[in-house]
């Protein structure tokens, strides 16, 4: 039987506990999960794509069916190249909905063979975002509950070196 492959795309600038929760849950649903660092044209990034990829890799060492990749093209094309049957995304508050719905419909139009699946965020990550974490870290706040432990120091070092 064909392997069931899903892609989990995002900016991951950096990966947070919220992302890791979605990745872990999605990995349990598919034979292979490809976490792909992509470009969101409306964002300015703190970390380079390869730094973001390396941080994700550090966080998923105990998830053997998870692969991490970088792509700067269209998500719909990437999903087709990887033979993925699904795009998995986390959904937090209602504020995510409109934007995610628009992307899901656009991706379906561009690639009718791939379904977008939304996993509801865990309650403790409802309002967690990479940009919030960076803002708190930048102002010296404690982000240890928001970042996977294995990347916590890397993120802080990098953010403090920018100040």
Interface residues toward ligand PNS, by CB under 6 A: 9-11, 38-40, 43, 74-75, 103, 106-107
Q: How far apart are CA 12 and CA 44, in angstroms?
A: 12
Q: Of 4, 25, 58, 92, which one is the catalytic site residue? A: 92
Partnered with residue 117 across adjacent β-strands are 88
Give the H or E element holding residue 87.
strand 86-91
Catalytic annotation, pick one of 53, 89, 130, 134? 130
Q: Mark whether 48 is an active-site residue.
A: no
> Can you tell me which residue has the tokens 């969101």?
40
| Pairing assessment for the beta strands 66-70 and 115-120 based on DSSP bridges | unpaired
Active site residue 162: no
Pick the closest to residue 38 from 125, 92, 107, 121 (CA basis).
107
CB of 142 to ligand PNS, least distance (A): 23
Is residue 43 annotated as a catalytic residue, yes or no?
yes
Cβ count within 10 A of residue 8:
26
Tell me the closest approach of the beta carbon of residue 34 to ligand PNS, in angstroms.
13
Q: Is 25 a catalytic residue?
A: no
d(CA 34, CA 67) in angstroms, rounded, equals 5
Minimum CB distance to ligand PNS smaller for 40 or for 124: 40
Closer residue to ligand PNS (CB): 38 or 60: 38
CB nearer ligand PNS, residue 110 or residue 156? 110
Catalytic residues: 19, 43, 92, 130
């Amino acid at each position: 039987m064909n392997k069931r492959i899903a892609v989990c795309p995002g900016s991951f600038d950096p990966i947070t506990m919220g992302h890791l929760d979605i990745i872990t849950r999605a990995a349990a649903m598919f034979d292979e999960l490809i976490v792909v660092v992509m470009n969101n044209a409306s964002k300015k990034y703190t970390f380079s794509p390869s730094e973001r990829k390396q941080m994700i890799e550090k966080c998923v060492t105990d998830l053997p069916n998870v692969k991490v990749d970088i792509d700067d093209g269209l998500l719909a094309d990437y999903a087709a190249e990887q033979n993925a049957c699904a795009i998995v995304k986390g959904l937090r508050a209602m504020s995510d909905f409109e934007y995610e719905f628009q992307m899901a419909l656009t991706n379906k139009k561009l690639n009718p063979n791939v379904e977008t699946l939304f996993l509801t965020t865990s309650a403790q990550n409802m309002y967690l975002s990479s940009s919030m974490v960076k803002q708190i870290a930048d102002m010296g706040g404690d982000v240890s509950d928001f970042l996977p432990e294995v990347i916590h120091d890397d993120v802080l070092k990098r953010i403090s070196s920018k100040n």
